[in-house]
Amino acid sequence: MYFLLAWRNIWRNKRRSLITILSITFAVLLACVMRSMQLGSYARMIDNSVRFYTGYIQIHKQGYWNDKVIDNSFEYDALLQKKVSHLQGLKLDVPRLESFALASFQSQTKGTLVMGVDPDKENELTRVKEKIVQGTFIKSDDDGILLAQGLAEYLNAQVGDTLTLISQGYHGANAAGLFPVRGIARFPLPFQNNQLIYMALPKAQWFYAAPGLVTSVSLLINKPDNTDRVVAQLKSEIDAKVYEVMGWKELVPDLLQSIELDNISGKVMLWVLYLVIGFGMFGTYLMMTAERKYEFGVMMAVGMQRLRLQAVIFLEISMMTTVGVLTGIILSLPILTYFHFHPIHYGKEAAKAIESFGVEAVYPFSLDPVIFTNQAYAIFIMAIVLSAYPLWTIYKMNPVESMRS
């Protein structure tokens, strides 16, 4: 009967209860949409960023990250490959041998970043083929190279031309060779577009006199949220004195910082929204308490313990909050689902500007369950905090004075 009493009490002032429930509903709906857009864009930013270059996780020889020289390369041997392949949720491992070289064509010379890669795996991670503007991508047994467009323009090199590369190989060995240009690709970020050269991994190992060696192995995993767990698993399985394992948060700290900063501003907006709704809810509780002081007094007079009366009132508040939160979530679900599968595309000019930073010009929505649960928690916590007023009033209530009011 207490449940019935609470439920009927909600509807004794239909208009006020409906306004309160609707305000909660719209707060949850708005909060879900806002958070979904934010989290969706973060996921896309992270995905874009890691697919750009780093992967979600990288394995290096211990010390490589602070001193990126070819002497800090390591052998990606069968044992390490086996351990990596057993990682939960691993989609792809991408070995690379990276170093610098002086590239020369005719009278032009420029410092470059040479990346020895497994072409198929590299393409799966960074989708480099989509960036090719001339010629073709290299093959795994290729002895040619893929040039970044800015670099090609500087060197006045075309597909079919042959570049001379000179560098220092592993442990000081001389590195020099002639490499025909197979293709030219345009990279969105200037530092890549002006200096990047892709080379097949065996050819790069030959060039740098580093047979079987790589400077990094980038990993792509199914669920980015599992990065920390996979890093921890990997660290526990390999020799931490020999290898260093880094997640994307360490690899691209700038991205993490910008996400955190944006996240804070999003949360501030959410709290402003909650605050506005909170005042509305508090107004309802205030009115409800004032209107029913007499009734509360009677109930206590006839023998209802304060705690039981408080429980009924708390039940009323919880029911109202639950109906509002559930309705908000139910209404937001189809909207978020639609925009998750049909993300918003930017207009042409905005899209161009965004794409120039190497980011896809779409605004995807996230369907992460945490979006819904967090709004529910926030509203419920607020309801609990605000319910302190009627509960305190009942606690302090004198039945005679209440009935006299």
Partner 1 sequence: MATLIQATEVSKVYHKTTVPVNALNGVTLRIEEGEFTAIVGPSGCGKTTLLNILGGLDHPTQGKVEIDGTDITTMKDSDLIDFRLHTIGFVFQAYNLIPVLTAKENIEFIMLLQKKSKKEREIRAIELLTRMGMVDKANQRPGELSGGQQQRVAVARALASNPRFILADEPTANLDSTSASNLLDLMAEINREQKATFVFSTHDQRVMDKARRLVTLRDGAIISDITR
Instruction: Compare residues 13 and 48 and give the one whose CB is closer to partner 1.
Output: 13
Instruction: Compare residues 261 and 301 and give the one whose CB is closer to partner 1.
Output: 301
Q: Least CB distance from residue 24 to partner 1, whole Å?
A: 22
Instruction: Compare residues 46 and 300 and give the one whose CB is closer to partner 1.
Output: 300
Q: Least CB distance from residue 392 to partner 1, whole Å?
A: 15
Instruction: Compare residues 18 and 132 and give the one whose CB is closer to partner 1.
Output: 18
Instruction: Compare residues 78 and 302 and give the one whose CB is closer to partner 1.
Output: 302
Instruction: Compare residues 5 and 272 and give the one whose CB is closer to partner 1.
Output: 5
Q: Least CB distance from residue 399 to partner 1, whole Å?
A: 6
82/96 Cα distance (integer angstroms): 17
Residues in the chain: 405
Q: Least CB distance from residue 325 to partner 1, whole Å?
A: 23
Q: Least CB distance from residue 401 to partner 1, whole Å?
A: 9
Instruction: Compare residues 5 and 69 and give the one whose CB is closer to partner 1.
Output: 5
Instruction: Compare residues 104 and 318 and give the one whose CB is closer to partner 1.
Output: 318
Secondary structure (H, E, C), the chain: CHHHHHHHHHHHHHHHHHHHHHHHHHHHHHHHHHHHHHHHHHHHHHHHHHHHHHCCEEEEECCCCCCCCHHHCEECCHHHHHHHHCCCCEEEEEEEEEEEEEEEECCEEEEEEEEEECHHHHHHHHCHHHHEEEECCCCCCCCCEEEEHHHHHHHCCCCCCEEEEEEECHHHCEEEEEEEEEEEECCCCHHHHCCEEEEEHHHHHHHCCCCCEECEEEEEECCHHHHHHHHHHHHHHCCCCCEEEEEHHHHCHHHHHHHHHHHHHHHHHHHHHHHHHHHHHHHHHHHHHHHCHHHHHHHHHCCCCHHHHHHHHHHHHHHHHHHHHHHHHHHHHHHHHHHHHCCEECCHHHHHHHHCCCCCCEECCCCCHHHHHHHHHHHHHHHHHHCHHHHHHHHHCCHHHHHHC
Q: Least CB distance from residue 300 to partner 1, whole Å?
A: 6
Instruction: Compare residues 100 and 294 and give the one whose CB is closer to partner 1.
Output: 294
Q: Least CB distance from residue 15 to partner 1, whole Å?
A: 16
Q: Least CB distance from residue 396 to partner 1, whole Å?
A: 11
275/142 Cα distance (integer angstroms): 62
Where on the chain is the footprint of partner 1 (CB under 8 A)? 1-2, 4-5, 8-9, 11-12, 294-295, 298-306, 308, 399-400, 403
Burial 35-60 (b: 16+ CB within 10 A, else e): bbbbbbbbbbbbbebbbbbbbbbbbb
Q: Least CB distance from residue 304 to partner 1, whole Å?
A: 6
